Amino acid sequence: MKKTINYRLTLPEKQLLKTKKVSQKMLQDYAPDEIAALLEASTERARELNALSVFQSIPSLGINFAEELIGQGYYSLEQIKGRSAVELFDAFERHCGAWADPCVEDSYRLLVHYIENRDESKRWWHFTAERKAYREQYGFHADRPQKPWYRDEKYPKMNAYQRD
């Protein structure tokens, strides 16, 4: 499991944790209902914090990638299980309305590999050759967004997922 999870806690949330003598690292051990009680947070916020922990526990996947998964409605690995990396990546680009940096697709390939194998030895860049071979053979779907990520103000951090 990743040593440090970024929760992007608010100042009041950090103060509550401090008052209750709970470190951010300890949040990984709490269930969503416990997080809600601990932080006096909504059920939705607690689900979000729990999902941030789950997604960032996958080696080399950072806060931005985790937040984007949540933004698409994913809160657990079980929700993603059985879907292909290509399907997830294509859905991500449609969600964003822009095509993404290739390393984002590598991250989806890592995510699927991790879900299927629980292999913590791989990092997103281990899937670059696989992605290139796939795209060489199959290309992209016909309705792929035309605008690149670096021209989309809505998603300025799309190319920073692995640098979190």
* Contact partners, residue 85, CB within 8 Å, separation at least 6: 105, 108, 109, 111, 112, 113, 127
Domain residue ranges of the chain, discontinuous segments joined by +: 1-57, 61-164
Q: What is the pTM of this model?
A: 0.88
User: Using CA of residue 109, residue 121, residue 159, residue 70, what is the dihedral sign?
Assistant: positive
Both tokens of residue 146?
């035309």
Q: How far is the C-alpha of 13 from the C-alpha of 41, rounded, in Å? A: 9
pLDDT reading at 71 higher than 90? yes
Q: 10-54, pLDDT tens digit by residue?
A: 999 999 999 999 999 999 999 999 999 999 999 999 999 999 999
* Contact partners, residue 89, CB within 8 Å, separation at least 6: 100, 104, 105, 108
Q: 90-115, pLDDT tens digit by residue?
A: 999 999 999 999 999 999 999 999 99
From the list 122, 79, 84, the residue with the least C-alpha distance to 105 is 84
Concatenating the DSSP letter of every residue in 6-28 gives -----HHHHHHHHHTT--GGGGG
